Amino acid sequence: MGSAVPPLYLDACATSPPAPAVLEAMAEVDRNAWANPSSLHGFGLAAADVLERSRLRLAHLLGCDSEELLFSSGGSESIHLALLGVAASLPAGRLLISAVEHPATVAAADQLHRRGWEVCQLPVNALGQVEAAALEPLLAPPTRLVSVIWGQSEVGTVQDIGTIGALCRAAGVLLHLDAVQVVGHRAIDFSALPVDLLSFTAHKLQGPRGIGALLVRRGVTIQPLIGGGGQERGRRGGTEPVALAAGMARALELAQERLEAGGGCDPLMQLRDDLLAALLALDGVHLSGPDPRRGEPRLPHHLSLLITDRAGKPLEGRRLVRELWREGIACSSGSACSAIQPTPAHAPAGGASPVLLAMGLPPDWAASGLRLSLGPWLKGRELERVPAALERARTRMEG
C-alpha cells in the first residue's frame, strides 16, 4: 500500500469505525456508571438507570416498546435467539429461509434441522429477491417460522417486507427479519412492520462491537439461549454491558439525525450513485444485484460489482481485494463473516459466492464479486480516486 494518501475505508457492511461521539458517550458511562446494573446499591442503581435510559432511547428511535427490546452480543446472537428461542416454544415444524441469508441464519437453521425441524430454502430471482409466488404455497402447515434478510449484505438487495409480512400474517406464521444492514440507513417503525422479530447490531452504524439487540413483538414467546441471573426479563442471562448500550443508543441517534437531514433518505445514496456512475464508465465493470438507476430497491450505501479483464474473463474477487489494498482501498469480495469460515464439504468450489450462485450466475462470475460499502466518514472527493485505483489493480492482475 502506498503512503502518499491515507487509506480509504469502503467496507461498512463488514463493520464501521466508531463515531467520536459514540466513544465519548461510552467513556462517560465507564467513568460514572461502571457497576453491575443488577446490584441494589447506589453504584448499581446508577448503572441500571443508564441501561434503561439507553433502552428507552433505542425503543423510541425504533418505534417499539422498551419491553420489546432485549440486548445481545450482536447480530449473530440475535438471529440465533430469534430462531432457536422461538422454536424452543413450538412443536417441530418447518422453517423457511431465503437462499441469500447471512451465514448466522444458515447456522441457526442447521441447528433446528438437527432438532427435527424441516428447513426449506426459498429461491430468489436474478436480483436476489424472494418472490411472493414462491413463498405463498410454502406457508401452509407445517411451516411455523420464516426468516428473511431485509438488506442483503453482499449484493445490496432490499426485500419487499410489506408483501412478505402480509403473507406470513395471513398464514399465521411468525416472521423474523435480519435487519443488520438496514438499521441506521432507513427509518424503522417496528410497531408498523408486519414482522414479529427483528435483529440488528451496533457496529454496522458506527457503534461499538459486542452489542446488538433483538426486537420481540409483545406476545411472542422465546426461550433463553443463555441462562443465569434472569437479565433482559429472563430472556438472556449475563451482566448487561451498560457502556456498550449507551454507545449503541448514541450511534442510532446520529444515524437518525443524518436521515432527518436527508429528508428521510440516507445522504450516502448520492455518494453511492456518483461512485457507481464513475465505475460503470470503465470497461469490464458490471453491477450485480438491484440497479438503483432503474429504481430497484437497494441498500443506499452499498455497491456490488462483477469485474472482468479486458478480454471479458471474470477476475477473482478476493485477489482483487488484496490488489486494491495495495492502492489504499479497503473493500470486500462478499460477506466478511463467511470469508473466514472453514469451507464445508457442500460449499461451492473456487471461491464462488453462494449468494451469486443462488441468483443464477455461473461459478466463474460468482467468484468475481467486489463489494464497496460506504459510511458517513466519507466525502465525495475522497471517492474520486477509486476508479483509477481499480484500473491499476486490475492491470496488475492481468500482467
Q: Same domain, yes or no, for 143 and 191?
A: yes
Strand pairing of 212-216 and 69-72? antiparallel
Residues 295, 248 share a domain:
no
Beta bridge partners of 199: 178, 214
Q: Where are the alpha helices (DSSP H) in the chain?
A: 20-32, 42-62, 75-87, 103-114, 132-135, 161-171, 242-261, 268-280, 317-326, 336-339, 354-358, 363-366, 386-398
Contact call for residues 232 and 40 (beta carbons, < 8 A): no
In a domain, 366, yes or no: yes
Q: What is residue 345's predicted lDDT score, i.e. its pLDDT?
A: 38
Task: Centre a 10 Å sphere on the Cβ of residue 136 and count the other Cβ atoms it contains.
Answer: 15
Tell me, yes or no, whether 1 lies in a domain: no
The C-alpha cell at 296 is 430497484
Among 193, 134, 199, smallest CA distance to 169 is for: 193
CA distance 372 to 221: 38
CB under 8 A, 24+ apart: contacts of 388-391: 389/324, 389/327, 389/328, 389/329, 390/279, 390/282, 390/285, 390/307, 390/324, 390/329, 391/282
Mark whether 334 and 221 lie in a shared domain: no
- Say whether both 170 and 210 belong to one domain: yes
Q: What mean pLDDT is predicted for residues 298-306?
A: 98
* pLDDT, mean of residues 42-52: 97
- Cα separation, 320 vs 332, in Å, equals 9
Residues 278 and 138 in one domain: no
When pLDDT is averaged across residues 375-398 and rounded to a whole number, the result is 94
Question: Can you give the pLDDT at residue 350?
Answer: 57
- In the chain, the number of structural domains is 2
- Are residues 245 and 325 both part of a single domain? no
Which cell goes with 245?
448500550
* Annotation marks residue 337 as catalytic: yes
Decide if 62 is inside a domain.
yes
CATH number of residue 180's parent domain: 3.40.640.10
339 has pLDDT over 70: no
Q: Tens digit of pLDDT for each residue in 3-15?
A: 578 999 999 999 9
Catalytic residue, from 13, 64, 265, 337: name it.
337
- Per-residue DSSP letter, 68: G
Q: With 80 as the cut, is the pLDDT of residue 349 above it?
A: no
| 279-304: b (≥16 Cβ within 10 Å) or e | bbeeebbebbbbebeeeebbbbbbbb
Kindly calculate the radius of gyration of the chain based on its CA atoms and give it in whole angstroms.
21
What is the predicted pLDDT for the residue at 351?
81
| Same-domain pairing of 214 and 145 | yes
Nearest C-alpha neighbor of 297 from the set 265, 253, 274: 265
* Average of per-residue pLDDT across 17-45: 97
The confidence score (pLDDT) of residue 340 equals: 38
pLDDT of residue 229: 82
Contacts of 143 (CB under 8 A, 6+ apart): 93, 94, 95, 96, 120, 171, 173
Q: How far apart are CA 5 and CA 385, in angstroms?
A: 10
Asked if residue 1 lies in contact with residue 11, where contact means CB atoms within 8 angstroms, the answer is no
| Residue that is last in its domain, among 239, 258, 277 | 258
Q: Which of 258, 285, 305 is the last residue of a domain?
A: 258
Query: Quick check: is 2 in a domain?
Result: no
**pLDDT confidence band for 189 (50 / 70 / 90):** very high
What pLDDT shows up at residue 37? 96
Residue numbers of the domain that contains 53: 20-258
Q: What is the mean pLDDT of residues 317-332?
A: 96
Q: Which three cell numbers stand for residue 24?
A: 465519548
